[in-house]
Structure 1
Amino acid sequence: MTAPAMLAIWSDVTPEQETDYLHWLTREHTAERLGIPGFQAVRVFRAALPGVCRFLIVYELASPGVLTSAAYLARLNAPTPWSRRVMPLLRNFARGGGRVRDVRGTGGGAWVMPLRLDRMPAAAPALLDALAAEDRICAVRLLEVDQQGSGVPTGEKALRGGDAAFAGLLLVEATGADALRGALARHQPAIAALDGGAAEPALYAAVFSLRQAVP
Protein backbone atom coordinates (compact mmCIF):
# COMPACT_ATOMS: atom_id res chain seq x y z
CA MET A 1 0.00 0.00 0.00
CA THR A 2 1.50 3.30 -1.09
CA ALA A 3 -1.60 5.49 -1.31
CA PRO A 4 -1.60 8.93 0.36
CA ALA A 5 -4.71 8.13 2.43
CA MET A 6 -6.35 5.21 4.21
CA LEU A 7 -9.58 4.26 5.93
CA ALA A 8 -9.43 1.71 8.79
CA ILE A 9 -12.50 -0.05 10.19
CA TRP A 10 -12.84 -2.53 13.07
CA SER A 11 -15.84 -4.65 14.04
CA ASP A 12 -16.75 -7.84 15.89
CA VAL A 13 -19.32 -10.47 14.97
CA THR A 14 -20.38 -13.65 16.72
CA PRO A 15 -19.06 -17.03 15.49
CA GLU A 16 -22.53 -17.78 14.17
CA GLN A 17 -22.52 -14.57 12.09
CA GLU A 18 -18.97 -14.89 10.76
CA THR A 19 -19.67 -16.77 7.52
CA ASP A 20 -22.45 -14.41 6.47
CA TYR A 21 -20.29 -11.43 7.41
CA LEU A 22 -17.39 -12.68 5.28
CA HIS A 23 -19.71 -13.46 2.38
CA TRP A 24 -21.07 -9.91 2.63
CA LEU A 25 -17.55 -8.46 2.66
CA THR A 26 -16.09 -10.58 -0.13
CA ARG A 27 -19.14 -10.89 -2.39
CA GLU A 28 -20.69 -7.44 -2.13
CA HIS A 29 -19.45 -4.78 0.25
CA THR A 30 -15.77 -4.36 -0.64
CA ALA A 31 -16.49 -4.53 -4.39
CA GLU A 32 -19.17 -1.90 -3.92
CA ARG A 33 -16.72 0.37 -2.13
CA LEU A 34 -14.06 -0.08 -4.83
CA GLY A 35 -16.64 1.08 -7.35
CA ILE A 36 -16.55 4.52 -5.69
CA PRO A 37 -14.08 6.98 -7.23
CA GLY A 38 -11.00 7.28 -5.04
CA PHE A 39 -11.21 3.83 -3.45
CA GLN A 40 -8.20 1.97 -4.85
CA ALA A 41 -7.74 -1.25 -2.84
CA VAL A 42 -8.86 -3.09 0.28
CA ARG A 43 -7.43 -5.68 2.62
CA VAL A 44 -9.31 -7.56 5.34
CA PHE A 45 -7.58 -8.98 8.43
CA ARG A 46 -8.81 -11.24 11.25
CA ALA A 47 -7.55 -10.85 14.81
CA ALA A 48 -5.62 -13.77 16.31
CA LEU A 49 -7.75 -13.76 19.47
CA PRO A 50 -9.21 -17.00 20.86
CA GLY A 51 -13.00 -17.00 20.80
CA VAL A 52 -13.25 -13.53 19.24
CA CYS A 53 -14.29 -12.83 15.65
CA ARG A 54 -12.74 -9.39 15.18
CA PHE A 55 -11.95 -7.96 11.77
CA LEU A 56 -9.95 -5.01 10.49
CA ILE A 57 -10.66 -3.57 7.05
CA VAL A 58 -8.06 -1.24 5.53
CA TYR A 59 -8.97 0.73 2.41
CA GLU A 60 -6.37 2.49 0.28
CA LEU A 61 -7.66 5.92 -0.84
CA ALA A 62 -6.52 8.35 -3.52
CA SER A 63 -6.81 11.28 -1.09
CA PRO A 64 -8.36 12.16 2.29
CA GLY A 65 -11.07 14.03 0.42
CA VAL A 66 -12.60 10.73 -0.69
CA LEU A 67 -14.07 10.42 2.82
CA THR A 68 -16.43 13.32 2.18
CA SER A 69 -16.91 12.92 -1.56
CA ALA A 70 -20.43 13.06 -2.93
CA ALA A 71 -20.16 9.54 -4.39
CA TYR A 72 -19.06 7.97 -1.09
CA LEU A 73 -21.64 9.80 1.02
CA ALA A 74 -24.34 8.76 -1.44
CA ARG A 75 -23.44 5.11 -0.86
CA LEU A 76 -23.27 5.56 2.92
CA ASN A 77 -26.75 7.04 2.87
CA ALA A 78 -28.23 4.30 0.66
CA PRO A 79 -27.02 0.97 2.10
CA THR A 80 -27.95 -2.21 0.26
CA PRO A 81 -30.44 -4.65 1.80
CA TRP A 82 -27.56 -6.94 2.79
CA SER A 83 -25.74 -4.03 4.44
CA ARG A 84 -28.92 -3.06 6.27
CA ARG A 85 -29.06 -6.57 7.72
CA VAL A 86 -25.36 -6.79 8.66
CA MET A 87 -24.68 -3.30 10.05
CA PRO A 88 -26.82 -3.64 13.23
CA LEU A 89 -25.01 -6.90 14.08
CA LEU A 90 -21.54 -5.33 14.24
CA ARG A 91 -20.05 -4.74 17.70
CA ASN A 92 -17.02 -2.77 18.94
CA PHE A 93 -17.17 -0.77 15.72
CA ALA A 94 -14.43 1.80 15.17
CA ARG A 95 -13.77 3.80 12.02
CA GLY A 96 -11.28 6.46 11.01
CA GLY A 97 -9.68 7.69 7.81
CA GLY A 98 -7.34 10.40 6.65
CA ARG A 99 -3.90 11.07 5.24
CA VAL A 100 -0.95 8.75 5.61
CA ARG A 101 1.46 11.05 7.36
CA ASP A 102 4.57 8.87 7.28
CA VAL A 103 5.67 5.60 5.66
CA ARG A 104 8.65 3.27 5.96
CA GLY A 105 9.08 0.24 3.72
CA THR A 106 7.01 -0.98 0.80
CA GLY A 107 4.31 -3.50 0.05
CA GLY A 108 2.15 -5.27 2.59
CA GLY A 109 2.64 -8.13 5.01
CA ALA A 110 0.46 -11.15 5.69
CA TRP A 111 0.38 -10.12 9.38
CA VAL A 112 -0.25 -6.67 10.82
CA MET A 113 -0.12 -5.04 14.24
CA PRO A 114 -2.53 -2.07 14.30
CA LEU A 115 -2.11 0.39 17.16
CA ARG A 116 -4.95 2.88 17.53
CA LEU A 117 -3.73 6.20 18.89
CA ASP A 118 -5.69 8.47 21.20
CA ARG A 119 -3.55 11.41 20.11
CA MET A 120 -1.30 12.09 17.16
CA PRO A 121 2.41 12.50 17.95
CA ALA A 122 4.17 15.63 16.77
CA ALA A 123 6.66 13.36 15.01
CA ALA A 124 7.83 9.76 15.26
CA PRO A 125 10.53 9.21 12.60
CA ALA A 126 12.96 7.46 14.94
CA LEU A 127 10.40 4.86 16.01
CA LEU A 128 9.24 4.26 12.44
CA ASP A 129 12.84 3.85 11.32
CA ALA A 130 13.57 1.41 14.15
CA LEU A 131 10.48 -0.69 13.50
CA ALA A 132 11.09 -0.82 9.75
CA ALA A 133 14.68 -1.98 10.37
CA GLU A 134 13.51 -5.04 12.30
CA ASP A 135 13.84 -8.44 10.61
CA ARG A 136 10.84 -9.44 8.48
CA ILE A 137 9.01 -6.15 8.95
CA CYS A 138 7.67 -5.08 5.55
CA ALA A 139 6.27 -1.63 6.19
CA VAL A 140 5.24 0.84 8.86
CA ARG A 141 2.55 3.46 8.26
CA LEU A 142 1.28 6.31 10.40
CA LEU A 143 -2.28 7.42 9.63
CA GLU A 144 -3.62 10.76 10.85
CA VAL A 145 -7.40 10.57 11.15
CA ASP A 146 -9.52 13.37 9.74
CA GLN A 147 -12.00 13.62 12.60
CA GLN A 148 -14.45 15.83 10.74
CA GLY A 149 -14.43 13.72 7.59
CA SER A 150 -14.68 10.46 9.51
CA GLY A 151 -17.48 11.71 11.73
CA VAL A 152 -20.04 12.76 9.13
CA PRO A 153 -23.49 11.35 10.09
CA THR A 154 -24.79 8.83 7.53
CA GLY A 155 -27.50 6.26 7.07
CA GLU A 156 -25.05 3.40 7.65
CA LYS A 157 -23.76 4.94 10.86
CA ALA A 158 -27.33 5.25 12.16
CA LEU A 159 -27.82 1.50 11.63
CA ARG A 160 -24.80 0.74 13.85
CA GLY A 161 -25.80 3.04 16.69
CA GLY A 162 -22.44 4.73 17.21
CA ASP A 163 -18.80 4.36 16.16
CA ALA A 164 -15.68 4.58 18.32
CA ALA A 165 -13.20 7.25 17.21
CA PHE A 166 -9.42 7.48 17.35
CA ALA A 167 -6.85 10.11 16.45
CA GLY A 168 -4.39 8.00 14.49
CA LEU A 169 -3.17 4.54 13.58
CA LEU A 170 0.29 3.00 13.60
CA LEU A 171 0.16 0.02 11.25
CA VAL A 172 3.14 -2.34 11.36
CA GLU A 173 3.25 -5.09 8.71
CA ALA A 174 5.35 -8.26 8.67
CA THR A 175 5.77 -11.63 7.01
CA GLY A 176 4.88 -13.43 10.24
CA ALA A 177 3.41 -13.01 13.70
CA ASP A 178 6.67 -13.73 15.52
CA ALA A 179 8.35 -10.79 13.80
CA LEU A 180 5.64 -8.47 15.10
CA ARG A 181 5.85 -9.86 18.63
CA GLY A 182 9.63 -9.41 18.62
CA ALA A 183 9.42 -5.84 17.33
CA LEU A 184 6.80 -4.99 19.94
CA ALA A 185 8.92 -6.45 22.75
CA ARG A 186 12.01 -4.52 21.70
CA HIS A 187 10.26 -1.19 21.13
CA GLN A 188 7.42 -1.32 23.66
CA PRO A 189 8.54 1.77 25.66
CA ALA A 190 8.71 3.92 22.54
CA ILE A 191 5.38 2.57 21.33
CA ALA A 192 3.78 3.27 24.71
CA ALA A 193 5.17 6.82 24.60
CA LEU A 194 3.50 7.20 21.21
CA ASP A 195 0.21 6.39 22.94
CA GLY A 196 -0.14 3.04 21.28
CA GLY A 197 -2.90 1.74 23.54
CA ALA A 198 -2.71 -1.83 24.84
CA ALA A 199 0.63 -3.14 26.07
CA GLU A 200 0.02 -6.31 24.07
CA PRO A 201 -2.09 -5.36 21.05
CA ALA A 202 -3.75 -8.04 18.99
CA LEU A 203 -2.09 -9.30 15.83
CA TYR A 204 -4.14 -9.74 12.65
CA ALA A 205 -3.77 -12.16 9.74
CA ALA A 206 -4.78 -11.31 6.18
CA VAL A 207 -7.89 -13.12 4.94
CA PHE A 208 -8.93 -11.20 1.79
CA SER A 209 -7.76 -8.49 -0.59
CA LEU A 210 -9.14 -6.75 -3.65
CA ARG A 211 -7.82 -4.01 -5.92
CA GLN A 212 -9.80 -1.69 -8.15
CA ALA A 213 -9.88 -2.97 -11.71
CA VAL A 214 -7.86 -0.90 -14.16
CA PRO A 215 -9.86 -0.07 -17.35
Structure 2
Amino acid sequence: MTGLLGRGVLANWGGITDDAEVDYNAWHSLEHMPERLAIPGFRRGRRCIAVDGVPQDRRYFMMYETDEIDTLASAPYLARLNDPTPWTTRVLSAYVAPSRTVCRVLQTRGRGVGGWLATYEFNEPSRDDARGFAVGGWLDLVCKLDGVLGAHALEGDPQFGQQPTKEKTFREARGDKDVTVAIALLVEGMDRKSTETAMAALDADMGALRADRVTLYETQHVLSDADAHL
Protein backbone atom coordinates (compact mmCIF):
# COMPACT_ATOMS: atom_id res chain seq x y z
CA MET A 1 0.00 0.00 0.00
CA THR A 2 1.66 3.18 -1.16
CA GLY A 3 -0.74 5.95 -0.15
CA LEU A 4 -0.21 9.59 -1.10
CA LEU A 5 2.19 10.33 -3.96
CA GLY A 6 4.56 12.68 -2.15
CA ARG A 7 5.59 14.15 1.19
CA GLY A 8 3.75 17.45 0.79
CA VAL A 9 0.02 18.22 0.66
CA LEU A 10 -1.95 21.40 0.09
CA ALA A 11 -5.25 20.85 1.90
CA ASN A 12 -8.19 23.16 1.24
CA TRP A 13 -11.64 23.29 2.78
CA GLY A 14 -14.26 25.90 1.95
CA GLY A 15 -17.36 26.88 0.07
CA ILE A 16 -18.52 28.87 -2.90
CA THR A 17 -21.47 31.21 -3.32
CA ASP A 18 -24.54 29.47 -4.75
CA ASP A 19 -24.55 31.44 -7.98
CA ALA A 20 -20.91 30.54 -8.71
CA GLU A 21 -21.00 26.82 -7.92
CA VAL A 22 -21.38 25.51 -11.49
CA ASP A 23 -18.64 27.87 -12.66
CA TYR A 24 -16.42 26.78 -9.78
CA ASN A 25 -16.64 23.08 -10.59
CA ALA A 26 -15.91 23.65 -14.28
CA TRP A 27 -12.98 25.93 -13.43
CA HIS A 28 -11.45 23.54 -10.92
CA SER A 29 -11.64 20.54 -13.25
CA LEU A 30 -10.84 22.20 -16.58
CA GLU A 31 -8.36 24.92 -15.63
CA HIS A 32 -7.14 24.88 -12.06
CA MET A 33 -6.08 21.25 -11.62
CA PRO A 34 -4.41 21.02 -15.05
CA GLU A 35 -2.63 24.32 -14.38
CA ARG A 36 -1.35 23.20 -10.99
CA LEU A 37 -0.28 19.76 -12.19
CA ALA A 38 1.83 21.35 -14.91
CA ILE A 39 4.04 22.81 -12.15
CA PRO A 40 7.13 20.67 -11.36
CA GLY A 41 6.61 18.60 -8.22
CA PHE A 42 2.79 18.48 -8.30
CA ARG A 43 1.64 14.85 -8.49
CA ARG A 44 -2.14 14.61 -8.01
CA GLY A 45 -5.15 16.81 -7.32
CA ARG A 46 -8.69 16.05 -6.24
CA ARG A 47 -11.99 17.73 -5.42
CA CYS A 48 -14.65 16.30 -3.10
CA ILE A 49 -18.16 17.51 -2.25
CA ALA A 50 -19.74 17.15 1.17
CA VAL A 51 -22.84 15.12 1.91
CA ASP A 52 -26.15 16.92 2.39
CA GLY A 53 -26.48 18.97 5.54
CA VAL A 54 -22.85 20.10 5.82
CA PRO A 55 -22.47 23.89 6.33
CA GLN A 56 -21.48 25.93 3.29
CA ASP A 57 -18.02 26.68 4.68
CA ARG A 58 -17.09 22.98 4.39
CA ARG A 59 -18.99 22.12 1.22
CA TYR A 60 -15.80 21.33 -0.72
CA PHE A 61 -12.48 19.69 0.07
CA MET A 62 -9.63 20.07 -2.42
CA MET A 63 -6.09 18.79 -2.08
CA TYR A 64 -2.86 18.55 -4.03
CA GLU A 65 -0.13 15.98 -3.41
CA THR A 66 3.41 17.21 -4.08
CA ASP A 67 6.86 15.61 -4.10
CA GLU A 68 7.96 17.73 -1.13
CA ILE A 69 6.52 20.52 0.99
CA ASP A 70 9.04 22.89 -0.64
CA THR A 71 7.17 22.46 -3.93
CA LEU A 72 4.46 24.62 -2.38
CA ALA A 73 6.85 27.56 -2.04
CA SER A 74 8.78 27.04 -5.28
CA ALA A 75 9.39 29.81 -7.78
CA PRO A 76 7.16 28.26 -10.50
CA TYR A 77 4.28 27.85 -8.06
CA LEU A 78 4.58 31.37 -6.64
CA ALA A 79 4.72 32.76 -10.18
CA ARG A 80 1.41 31.05 -10.89
CA LEU A 81 -0.14 32.38 -7.66
CA ASN A 82 0.82 35.91 -8.65
CA ASP A 83 -0.52 35.67 -12.21
CA PRO A 84 -4.12 34.42 -11.88
CA THR A 85 -6.17 33.97 -15.03
CA PRO A 86 -9.44 35.91 -15.45
CA TRP A 87 -11.36 32.69 -14.71
CA THR A 88 -9.36 32.15 -11.52
CA THR A 89 -9.93 35.75 -10.44
CA ARG A 90 -13.69 35.41 -10.93
CA VAL A 91 -14.03 32.11 -9.08
CA LEU A 92 -11.74 32.94 -6.16
CA SER A 93 -13.72 36.13 -5.57
CA ALA A 94 -16.76 33.94 -4.82
CA TYR A 95 -15.01 31.76 -2.20
CA VAL A 96 -16.63 31.29 1.21
CA ALA A 97 -14.51 30.76 4.37
CA PRO A 98 -11.29 29.53 2.73
CA SER A 99 -9.15 27.12 4.76
CA ARG A 100 -5.77 26.56 3.09
CA THR A 101 -2.91 24.68 4.76
CA VAL A 102 0.47 23.47 3.54
CA CYS A 103 1.02 20.10 5.22
CA ARG A 104 3.75 17.55 5.79
CA VAL A 105 2.74 13.91 5.44
CA LEU A 106 3.22 12.16 8.79
CA GLN A 107 1.84 8.76 7.75
CA THR A 108 0.14 7.47 4.63
CA ARG A 109 -1.22 4.19 3.38
CA GLY A 110 -3.53 3.39 0.51
CA ARG A 111 -4.47 1.79 -2.79
CA GLY A 112 -5.23 4.64 -5.17
CA VAL A 113 -8.10 7.05 -4.49
CA GLY A 114 -11.36 6.23 -2.72
CA GLY A 115 -14.79 7.28 -3.89
CA TRP A 116 -15.52 8.63 -0.39
CA LEU A 117 -13.35 10.62 1.99
CA ALA A 118 -13.69 11.59 5.64
CA THR A 119 -11.63 14.50 6.96
CA TYR A 120 -10.79 15.19 10.62
CA GLU A 121 -9.54 18.71 11.36
CA PHE A 122 -7.69 19.63 14.56
CA ASN A 123 -7.00 23.28 15.32
CA GLU A 124 -3.89 24.72 16.97
CA PRO A 125 -4.80 24.18 20.65
CA SER A 126 -5.06 20.43 19.96
CA ARG A 127 -1.83 20.12 17.94
CA ASP A 128 0.31 18.19 20.43
CA ASP A 129 -2.36 15.68 21.46
CA ALA A 130 -3.57 15.24 17.90
CA ARG A 131 -0.05 14.78 16.55
CA GLY A 132 0.65 12.12 19.16
CA PHE A 133 -2.39 10.22 17.99
CA ALA A 134 -1.70 10.87 14.28
CA VAL A 135 1.70 9.16 14.36
CA GLY A 136 0.34 6.16 16.26
CA GLY A 137 -1.25 2.91 15.14
CA TRP A 138 -4.65 4.16 13.98
CA LEU A 139 -3.81 3.44 10.32
CA ASP A 140 -3.44 -0.26 11.15
CA LEU A 141 -6.87 -0.23 12.79
CA VAL A 142 -8.64 1.59 9.97
CA CYS A 143 -6.96 0.05 6.93
CA LYS A 144 -7.84 -3.52 7.90
CA LEU A 145 -11.57 -2.73 7.74
CA ASP A 146 -13.60 -3.87 4.74
CA GLY A 147 -13.92 -1.22 2.05
CA VAL A 148 -11.22 1.12 3.38
CA LEU A 149 -8.81 2.12 0.61
CA GLY A 150 -6.48 4.44 2.48
CA ALA A 151 -5.71 6.60 5.50
CA HIS A 152 -3.36 9.54 5.92
CA ALA A 153 -2.08 11.81 8.70
CA LEU A 154 -1.00 15.38 7.87
CA GLU A 155 0.64 18.11 9.96
CA GLY A 156 -0.14 21.65 8.93
CA ASP A 157 2.31 24.54 8.97
CA PRO A 158 0.60 27.83 9.93
CA GLN A 159 3.31 29.98 8.31
CA PHE A 160 4.69 28.08 5.31
CA GLY A 161 3.12 28.99 1.99
CA GLN A 162 1.09 31.89 3.38
CA GLN A 163 2.68 34.61 1.23
CA PRO A 164 0.45 37.59 0.29
CA THR A 165 -0.04 36.55 -3.35
CA LYS A 166 -2.56 37.93 -5.83
CA GLU A 167 -4.61 34.75 -5.59
CA LYS A 168 -4.81 35.18 -1.81
CA THR A 169 -6.12 38.73 -2.31
CA PHE A 170 -8.99 37.50 -4.47
CA ARG A 171 -9.65 34.46 -2.25
CA GLU A 172 -10.15 36.80 0.72
CA ALA A 173 -12.12 39.39 -1.27
CA ARG A 174 -15.41 38.63 0.52
CA GLY A 175 -13.82 39.31 3.92
CA ASP A 176 -13.15 35.70 4.96
CA LYS A 177 -9.44 35.37 5.73
CA ASP A 178 -7.51 32.17 5.04
CA VAL A 179 -7.27 29.88 8.05
CA THR A 180 -5.10 26.82 8.65
CA VAL A 181 -5.41 23.49 10.46
CA ALA A 182 -2.80 21.98 12.78
CA ILE A 183 -3.41 18.26 12.15
CA ALA A 184 -5.64 16.49 9.63
CA LEU A 185 -6.59 12.83 9.40
CA LEU A 186 -8.05 11.50 6.14
CA VAL A 187 -9.85 8.20 5.60
CA GLU A 188 -10.69 6.97 2.09
CA GLY A 189 -13.41 4.40 1.47
CA MET A 190 -14.87 2.41 -1.37
CA ASP A 191 -18.40 3.55 -0.56
CA ARG A 192 -20.26 5.61 2.01
CA LYS A 193 -21.10 2.72 4.33
CA SER A 194 -17.51 1.48 4.62
CA THR A 195 -16.23 5.00 5.18
CA GLU A 196 -18.77 5.66 7.93
CA THR A 197 -17.87 2.35 9.57
CA ALA A 198 -14.21 3.40 9.56
CA MET A 199 -15.16 6.78 11.03
CA ALA A 200 -16.96 5.06 13.93
CA ALA A 201 -13.91 2.88 14.59
CA LEU A 202 -11.60 5.89 14.46
CA ASP A 203 -13.83 7.88 16.82
CA ALA A 204 -13.74 5.05 19.32
CA ASP A 205 -9.96 4.70 19.03
CA MET A 206 -9.44 8.42 19.72
CA GLY A 207 -11.05 8.15 23.13
CA ALA A 208 -11.27 11.59 24.74
CA LEU A 209 -9.51 13.27 21.80
CA ARG A 210 -12.00 14.95 19.49
CA ALA A 211 -11.52 16.72 16.18
CA ASP A 212 -12.73 20.30 15.80
CA ARG A 213 -14.46 19.32 12.56
CA VAL A 214 -15.33 15.98 10.97
CA THR A 215 -16.76 16.00 7.44
CA LEU A 216 -17.77 13.27 5.02
CA TYR A 217 -17.21 13.86 1.30
CA GLU A 218 -17.84 12.14 -2.01
CA THR A 219 -15.01 12.38 -4.52
CA GLN A 220 -15.91 14.35 -7.65
CA HIS A 221 -12.72 14.50 -9.73
CA VAL A 222 -9.14 13.26 -9.47
CA LEU A 223 -6.35 14.33 -11.83
CA SER A 224 -2.72 13.18 -11.83
CA ASP A 225 0.33 14.81 -13.33
CA ALA A 226 0.30 12.11 -16.02
CA ASP A 227 -3.30 13.03 -16.92
CA ALA A 228 -2.46 16.73 -17.09
CA HIS A 229 0.34 16.16 -19.58
CA LEU A 230 -1.70 14.11 -22.06
Both structures adopt the same fold (TM-score exceeding 0.5): yes
User: Which of 110, 129, 142 lines up with 2:140 in the alignment?
Assistant: 129
Q: Distance in 1 between matches of 2:188 and 2:117?
A: 4
CA shift, 1:31, in A, is 0.9
Q: Given residue 160 of structure 2, which amino acid in structure 1 is its aligned partner?
A: G
1:10 corresponds to: 13
Q: Given residue 30 of structure 2, which amino acid in structure 1 is its aligned partner?
A: R
2:49 corresponds to: 46
Residues 117, 107 of structure 1: CA spacing in aligned structure 2 closer, same or farther, 3 A cutoff? same
Moved more, 38-47 or 184-193: 184-193
**For residues 171-196 of structure 1, what are the alpha-carbon distances to aligned partners after superposition, in whole Å with 9 as ceiling and x for unaligned?**
10000111121122233143364542
Q: Distance in 1 between matches of 2:206 and 2:120?
A: 9
1:31 corresponds to: 34
**Aligned-pair Cα RMSD in Å:** 2.0
Q: Given residue 61 of structure 2, which amino acid in structure 1 is its aligned partner?
A: L
List runs of 5+ in structure 2 lacking aligned partners: none
Q: Following superposition, which runs of at least 4 residues in structure 1 exceed 6 angstroms of deviation?
A: none
Q: TM-score, normalised by structure 2?
A: 0.85
List runs of 5+ in structure 1 lacking aligned partners: none
CA shift, 1:92, in A, is 1.8
Matched-pair contact (CA < 8 Å) for 2:5–2:44: no
CA shift, 1:157, in A, is 0.9
Q: TM-score, normalised by structure 1?
A: 0.90
2:85 corresponds to: 80
Residues 141, 50 of structure 1: CA spacing in aligned structure 2 closer, same or farther, 3 A cutoff? same
User: Which of 67, 77, 82 lines up with 2:72 in the alignment?
Assistant: 67
Aligned residue pairs: how many?
213
Residues 71, 167 of structure 1: CA spacing in aligned structure 2 closer, same or farther, 3 A cutoff? same
Q: Distance in 2 between matches of 1:158 and 1:194?
A: 35
